[in-house]
Amino acid sequence: MDLLFLNQSNSNTVLNMPDGRPLYHVDSPFQMFGRTTNISKFDGRGGNSDVGAVELHGMSSDVVAVWGRDVTPQRQGIFST
């Protein structure tokens, strides 16, 4: 599936299909400490539903939630992030 970014920012954008239909909305509001990125999917009827969220923490473990379930990111090697 090919998706096109509406904006140059990958943290605040809309992902469109090649025909211009919006499919996903990525929103990362400004926060002083930590950062949460929310991903929602357009339903085609003018609404949207939450798909997932990514919480980046500087000093503690990051949290990823997909369809309401927490998924723990795992490191693949000593130098991976």
Q: How many CA atoms lie within 13 A of 6 on its CB side?
A: 16
Give domain limits for the chain: 4-11+24-71
Q: Return the pLDDT at 80.
A: 59
Is it the case that residue 4 has pLDDT exceeding 80? yes
Q: Return the pLDDT at 74.
A: 67
Q: How many CB atoms lie within 10 A of CB 54?
A: 19
Q: What angle do CA 42, 44, 46 make, to 5 degrees?
A: 80
pLDDT tens, residue by residue, 23-80: 999 999 887 777 899 999 998 787 889 999 998 877 777 788 898 888 876 666 666 5
